[in-house]
A = this chain, B = another copy of it.
Amino acid sequence: MKFEVRPVDIGTETPTVLLHRDDADELGANPLDRIVIRSDKRTETGIVEVTEKLVDKGVLGATERLQHLTGDVDVSLAPRSGSVGCIRNKLEDKELEDDEIRRIVRDIDRNALNDIELGAYVSAIYANGLSMSETLSLTEHMTEVGETMEWGEGVVADKHSIGGVAGNRVTPLVVPIVAAAGAKIPKTSSRAITSPAGTADTVEVFCDVKFEKERITEIVEETNGCMIWGGSVELSPVDDRIIRAENPLSLDPEGQVIASVLSKKKSVGSTHLVLDIPYGEGAKVQDLSDARELAEDFKRVSDHLGVRTECTITRGGAPVGRGIGPVLEARDVLGVLNGDGPQDLRVKSVRLAEILLEICGVDGSPSRILESGEALEKFREIVEAQNGDPDVTRDDLVPGGKTHGFVADRSGYVTHIDNELISGVARRAGAPHDKSAGIYLEAGVDEEVSRGDVLFTIHAVKREKLEEARKFAESQRPVRVGDRGESLVERV
């Protein structure tokens, strides 16, 4: 059938097209069915939604992902996607062939799976797991699609952390240390999806994080490093879509995590990687044994890809650093660069940088680089290259002015700070949308506090957000105070 294309401004992530109900019936298309759209230039896949008023008969309404389409197109019902059968095989716990995984990845890449099918994909991987050979295939095929970056000969250092730990802003410390030591480290990071800040959100407090590929190359040539938002370069469009499907279900199947992380590292051209696996309550990996197993699997796949990877298993049962939320984390980072700031954040960043330099075969002592001010100097260089103010100080970074101090209702020691709950409070306070919103932990784990002492301060920009965060904190009590060395986490 012939249609005339008209843009419809709906920013859905899927290539949704709106058809008039009569046209959809005529075509034999139900909502969520796929259609093939042929124009002079190219052939695209669309996913059908039905309307009676938004578009007239004979008109194909193209949403965001299809707005490059114009003029007249020829539309037919698409055959059922072959990769749906592969997803069904995985639901039946069959091991997938390399070619089946290739088809799934290609279909996700060309946006040919609807949300029901994407939900089934992550469910199948979660329910039945991925074998090592499936994980290898998935990583390779995910690497094949999307942009790549190239850096010529020599070492390209990288760092990744499996999430779930609040604060934990080590990247803006590891990057300048490693770059100052002489290794190239073109670091891409993500924005928050469900957390109060992603590394890209925090770095954005200092400077721009979104750049074209060419400019990124220049920044790295000038400074040896960069701290940019991964979404600037479409390194792994497939991964973005998978994350979008995992998110509502809070699923994070291991094989998928490995493929997602390593395919991005390979695409960005990394040759040496330190991969941090925090474990503990509230972190993504809860048990030490699971962390060890994940580390082994990561190493096996990265060996296969030719990326030299060292995994670190770190304690992740509580936040690292004192600030949570972009501005508050940025202040911690500046603190450490200036020779003060939270001790745990400093120690962890130095250790990760040491390991990374060691596997890269680059000499240099991270703690010396930090103490000498070389790291601060390099940080300023990178911030300036990314259009920021190199002379920024902690006083320039002002946390949200609406505050509430959450006090201890007994004396004792801080026994427990819950990552998920603390993140929940910071998000309700407005982070990451309000960059200066978040939490400052006035006391860390094992610190002694007296009844009435402030345990943490909530910062917000808007009064109602402060109120929402306060209520949540009061009902959930993310920081617990007990007796010294108390091991009681909860009473069931």
Q: Which residues of B contact A132 (CB under 8 A)?
A: none
Task: Mark each residue of chain A from 21 to 57: 1 if its CB lies under 8 Å from any CB of chain B, else 0.
Answer: 1000110101111000000000000000111111000
The yes or no answer to A126 lying at the interface (CB within 8 A) is: yes
Contacts A10-B54, A117-B119: A248 and B32 contacting too (C-beta < 8 A)?
Answer: yes
Minimum C-beta distance from A67 to chain B (A): 11
CB-based contact B28/A12 at 8 Å: no
A427 to chain B, nearest CB (A): 6
User: Does B119 contact A120, Cβ atoms closer than 8 Å?
Assistant: yes
Chain B residues with CB below 8 A from A50, complex form: 11-12
Q: Contacts A84-B249, A119-B120, A123-B124 given; 4 further ones with Cβ under 8 A?
A: A11-B49, A31-B244, A115-B115, A120-B120
Interface stretch (choices A85-93, A288-296, A450-458)? A85-93
Most chain B beta-carbon contacts within 10 A, residue among A26, A245, A249? A249
CA A479 – CA B242 in complex, angstroms? 42
CB of A487 closer than 8 Å to a CB of B: no
Point out the residue from B31, B33, B87 that lies within 8 Å of A11, measured CB to CB.
B31
In angstroms, Cα B93 to Cα A471, docked, is 36
A126 partner residues in chain B, CB cutoff 8 A: 88, 91
In the bound complex, do residue A123 and residue B119 qualify as a contact, i.e. CB atoms below 8 Å apart?
Answer: yes
Q: Does A128 contact B (CB under 8 A)?
A: yes
- What are the interface flags for A9-25 relative to B under an 8 Å C-beta threshold, 1 for contact and 0 otherwise? 11111000010010001
Q: Is B52 within 8 A of A9, CB to CB? A: yes
Enumerate chain B residues within 8 angstroms of A118, measured Cβ to Cβ: 116, 119
Q: Does A313 contact B (CB under 8 A)?
A: no
Contacts of A119 in B (CB 8 A): 115-120, 123
* A25 touching B433, Cβ below 8 Å: yes
Q: Using a CB-CB cutoff of 8 Å, which residues 350-398 of chain A contact chain B?
A: none
| A190 on interface, CB distance cutoff 8 Å | no
Within 8 A of B (CB), among A49-74: 49-54
Contact B54 A249 (CB under 8 A): no
Q: Collect the chain B residues with CB atoms within 8 Å of residue A122's CB.
A: 116, 120
Residue on B with the closest CB to A21? B11
* Set of chain B residues within 8 Å of A433, measured between Cβ atoms: 25-26, 28
Question: Is the CB–CB distance between A120 and B117 below 8 Å?
Answer: no
For residue A26, which residues in chain B have a CB less than 8 angstroms away from its CB?
433
Cβ-based interface call for A133 (8 A): no
A127 close to chain B: CB less than 8 A = yes
Contact B51 A9 (CB under 8 A): yes
- Distance between Cα atoms of A119 and B30 in the complex (Å): 16
> Which 8 A-B residue pairings sit nearest by Cβ, starting from the closest?
A119-B119, A115-B115, A9-B53, A123-B123, A116-B119, A120-B123, A127-B127, A11-B50
Report which of B21, B114, B244, B249 forms a contact with A120, defined as CB distance below 8 A: B249
A347 on interface, CB distance cutoff 8 Å: no
Q: Which residues of B contact A33 (CB under 8 A)?
A: 248
Residues of B within 8 A of A430 (CB): 28
User: Given that A30-B193, A91-B127 are contacting pairs, would A249 and B51 also be in contact in the complex, using a CB cutoff of 8 Å?
Assistant: no
Instruction: Report if A314 contacts B (CB, 8 A).
Output: no
Q: Mark A80-115, 1 if CB is under 8 A from B, else 0.
A: 100010011001110000000000000000000011
